């Protein structure tokens, strides 16, 4: 498991990806109607950028890459259905 440790905060890559998904859901459902909504959108965008930055750091530190399932089979088209 890949973890980030910064000021004694440790977060796995999977947790970062879940948080990014939740932010994307919130951003897509947000309807800007006033200044407060616009501020919230900006905060969410900043948070997303910070999480993406941390996700990239975890990816750079990872020694193993995920296996591409298409490379496990001789006929990758059989995976599409």
Burial 48-72 (b: 16+ CB within 10 A, else e): beebeebbeebeeeeeeeeeeeeee
What local confidence, expressed as pLDDT, does residue 63 receive?
46
Task: Give dist(CA 71, CA 68) in Å, integer.
Answer: 6
Backbone angles phi, psi at 74, to 5 degrees: -70, -30
pLDDT digits (tens, 9 = 90+) for 36-78: 999 999 999 999 999 998 888 776 665 445 656 665 555 555 5
What local confidence, expressed as pLDDT, does residue 73 receive?
56
Task: Give dist(CA 58, CA 53) in Å, integer.
Answer: 9
pLDDT digits (tens, 9 = 90+) for 1-11: 566 555 656 78
Q: Considering just the CA atoms, what is the radius of gyration of the chain in Å? A: 18
């Amino acid at each position: 498991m890949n973890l980030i440790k910064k000021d004694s905060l440790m977060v796995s890559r999977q947790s970062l990806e879940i948080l990014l998904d939740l932010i994307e859901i919130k951003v897509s459902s947000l309807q800007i109607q006033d200044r407060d909504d616009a501020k919230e959108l900006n905060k969410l965008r900043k948070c997303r950028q910070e999480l993406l930055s941390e996700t990239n750091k975890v990816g750079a530190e990872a020694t193993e890459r995920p296996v591409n399932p298409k490379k496990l089979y001789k006929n990758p088209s059989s995976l599409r259905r």
